[in-house]
Amino acid sequence: MKKIDFQKLEKNLEKYQKEEEYNQRGLANVIRFVWNHYPTQHVDFDSFSYDDIMEAMDALSAIPVDDYMDEIDEMEKENVRNNPWFHNMIVENTVANLFHTKNKFYENDDDFI
């Protein structure tokens, strides 16, 4: 029976260790599910982690309340503009505006009469 030198193994594995990339996919999923009031049975709980939930809650709590919007300075306004909840609001409002636009014209590639 061979013995494994775990210190040597760990040292050799460090060469092949990848740096984990940070992505906001899980955070975006949390915000989308909450913003759109998804029913619980439609939420994909594998698409985000507990850390994503906590990050979404921190971002939400960083947004000033409407009553104080007149009193915030430029730095706070910039923080609001960079907030993921604010980005989601812009996307959702754009989609809603496109959906409710009157006189839409849909191009049809099929020329069959």
What does each of the 113 residues of the chain score in pLDDT, given as a tens digit? 788 888 888 888 888 777 766 788 999 999 999 999 999 999 999 999 999 999 999 999 888 776 666 677 787 778 788 899 999 999 998 888 888 888 777 676 666 66
pTM of this structure: 0.63
**Residue 95 and residue 68: Cα distance in Å, rounded?**
28
Name 59's Cβ contacts closer than 8 Å, sequence gap at least 6: 27, 31, 83, 84, 85
pLDDT for 54 equals 95
pLDDT score recorded for residue 45: 95
